[in-house]
């Protein structure tokens, strides 16, 4: 889009699109078939895998790394500063050299719901789902559905994003795909389909 602000050294994969008023900063890398929504911000050096969707007005601050197939809902914020301040202790304005960047890492197929905030440094596991409006302050395991502030695991979800059904102790099934999963402590792994 002509109204998007895309720095010259951004790598944009084939079939990707960037909508009105979006800003994609220097060194960012977008995989193939990505969609960057209206007014979204992609920070310097941020990496997106293939087929990611970053919805309207989401803020993806550097050094975030998103796996393939990641969904970032409207107005999501991925932070990058442990101790945010506008000024140093002496009152001088902070510059880019006065703080240490920390990032959010999101695994393949994960979804972050509208207006959720992921406070870096955290890792969101593969195919996990963060409910809308949640605040994530600790790592989220693969296939976990987390909600709340702070976010806590409330269910397990499969690749389809539908809550899994427990069919035997620590064994789950996706009602949509029939895929099977096994829980070991706070981890869930795929074990196949019916």
The dihedral sign for the CA sequence 11, 15, 18, 20: positive
Which helix or strand (DSSP H or E) is residue 118 part of?
A: strand 117-118
Paired residues of 166 in beta bridges = 172
Residue 179: predicted pLDDT: 96
Total-model pTM: 0.95
The residues, ordered by sequence, that sit 6+ positions from 109 with a Cβ below 8 Å of its Cβ are 67, 68, 69, 70, 126, 127, 159
The distance in angstroms from the start CA to the end CA of the chain is: 45
- The tens place of each residue's pLDDT in the chain, 194 residues long, gives 678 999 999 999 999 999 999 999 999 999 999 999 999 999 999 999 999 999 999 999 999 999 999 999 999 999 999 888 999 999 999 988 888 899 999 999 999 999 999 999 999 999 999 999 999 999 999 999 999 999 999 999 999 999 999 999 999 999 999 999 999 999 999 997 54
Residue 153: predicted pLDDT: 98
Question: Do the beta carbons of residue 82 and residue 64 sit within 8 Å?
Answer: no
Q: What stretches of 54-127 show up as alpha helix (H) in DSSP?
A: none
Question: Do the beta carbons of residue 117 and residue 135 sit within 8 Å?
Answer: yes
Question: Do the beta carbons of residue 176 and residue 159 sit within 8 Å?
Answer: no
What is the full DSSP assignment across 24-54? Answer: E-TT-EE-TT-EE-TT-EE-TT-EE-TT-EE
Residue 97: predicted pLDDT: 84
Paired residues of 117 in beta bridges = 77, 135
Residue 40: predicted pLDDT: 98
Backbone angles phi, psi at 167, to 5 degrees: -100, -20
Q: What is the set of domains in the chain, with CATH numbers?
A: 5-157 (2.160.10.10), 158-194 (no CATH)
**Cα–Cα distance for residue pair 37/30, rounded to 1 Å:** 13
């Amino acid at each position: 889009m002509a109204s998007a602000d895309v720095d010259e050294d951004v790598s944009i994969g084939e079939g990707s699109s960037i909508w009105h008023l979006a800003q994609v900063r220097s060194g960012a890398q977008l995989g193939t078939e990505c969609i960057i929504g209206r007014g979204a911000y992609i920070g310097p050096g941020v990496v997106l895998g293939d087929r990611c969707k970053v919805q309207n007005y989401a803020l993806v601050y550097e050094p975030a790394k998103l796996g393939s197939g990641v969904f970032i809902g409207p107005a999501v914020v991925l932070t990058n500063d442990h101790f945010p301040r506008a000024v140093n202790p002496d009152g001088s304005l902070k510059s880019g050299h006065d703080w240490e960047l920390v990032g959010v890492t999101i695994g393949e197929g994960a979804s972050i719901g509208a207006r959720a905030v992921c406070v870096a440094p955290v890792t969101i596991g593969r195919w996990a789902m963060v409910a809308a409006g949640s605040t994530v302050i600790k790592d989220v395991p693969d296939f976990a559905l987390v909600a709340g502030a702070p976010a806590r695991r409330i269910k397990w979800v499969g690749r389809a994003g539908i809550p899994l059904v427990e069919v035997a102790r620590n064994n789950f099934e996706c009602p949509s795909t029939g895929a099977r999963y096994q829980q070991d402590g706070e981890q869930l792994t795929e074990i196949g389909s019916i």
